Amino acid sequence: MQIIHTITELNQSLANQKNIGLVPTMGNLHAGHIRLATTAKEQSDCVVVSIFVNPLQFGANEDLASYPRTLDVDSKKLETAGVDIVFAPSEGELYPTPQTMTIAPPPIAYELCGASRSGHFSGVATVVLKLFNIVRPNIAVFGKKDFQQLFIIRQLVSQFNLPIEIIAGDTMREEDGLAMSSRNGYLNAAERLEAQRLYRALSLVVDAAKKKKLDLREIELQTTQYLTQLGWIVDYISIRSAKTLLPPAADDQNLVALGAARLGKTRLIDNIEFDLVS
């Protein structure tokens, strides 16, 4: 496995590759990321995993400075998983001049996570487009845990006619249901015990929505109150169409329950897709 830090060297290594799979990451990898890499491996001949903590997608009060940078440990995991290339550029390599042109994402990027992280998806879409242009992959794999990110990247690919197939990887969970995330490492012992409640709350949301006894807005409000009483700072609990991410129309059957909430200093997100069978 090669560990490459410059675009020139990456171009040389990829020159004769015809079927490239890309897994963009910010590092501090867990089993969910490794699963994305093995998915890419099944569907391409050469797998590139990028590791870059992208300053453009962090707000002023977010965790850019403290985000764990663990390239050595990450590289060992990726080598074991059969990855061909780790692309770990410096900030100066990816942004040699200030990035004054950025992607303006669609309106949905300012709802859900975007409501409290206004520039976040512009930063994500911009760096992902740059990585696509640098690596020129045939496929790219993104996790469903970041459901809204996945939706926006699919829009990026379709609206800019990018010749890349986007593959969605299922969320991997700890034994108690907590979605695997690089940010779980920020939780202290008591918070870690409590953290699984976000998934459980979303499971209750799904059950309640399927029973159709309460309207969806009421379910969202009651779940927000429930988590708030237990000490969570809830950004949102929302039931949306899984296809459009908009509030569901009356005949929408494929839905997704999404949530984002803070435990202490740690912001956790999760989601569950479900069908409303009538």
Torsion (CA) 41, 131, 186, 225 in degrees, nearest 10: -100
- If one asks whether residue 24 binds ligand PAF (CB under 6 A), the answer comes out as yes
As measured in angstroms, the least distance from the Cβ of 131 to ligand PAF is: 8
User: Which lies closer to ligand PAF via its Cβ, residue 146 or residue 270?
Assistant: 146
Instruction: Show the CA angle centred on residue 256, arms to residues 28 and 206, nearest 5°.
Output: 110
- If one asks whether residue 124 binds ligand PAF (CB under 6 A), the answer comes out as yes
- If one asks whether residue 54 binds ligand PAF (CB under 6 A), the answer comes out as yes
- Among 10, 14, 26, 46, indicate the residue that binds ligand PAF (CB under 6 A): 26
CA–CA gap between residue 233 and residue 231 (Å, rounded): 7
- If one asks whether residue 128 binds ligand PAF (CB under 6 A), the answer comes out as yes
Question: Can you tell me which residue has the tokens 């969806």?
Answer: 216
Catalytic residue ranges: 33
Question: Can you tell me which residue has the tokens 């491996």?
Answer: 41
- If one asks whether residue 255 binds ligand PAF (CB under 6 A), the answer comes out as no
Stretch in the footprint of ligand PAF (CB under 6 A) among 23-31, 60-68, 74-82, 212-220: 23-31
The size of the interface with ligand PAF (CB under 6 A), counted in residues, is 10
CA–CA gap between residue 213 and residue 36 (Å, rounded): 38
Going by C-alpha positions, the residue among 153, 206, 203, 207 that lies closest to residue 179 is 203
- Side chain identity at 189, as an amino acid letter? A
Residues that bind ligand PAF (CB under 6 A): 24-26, 54, 57, 124, 127-128, 146, 149
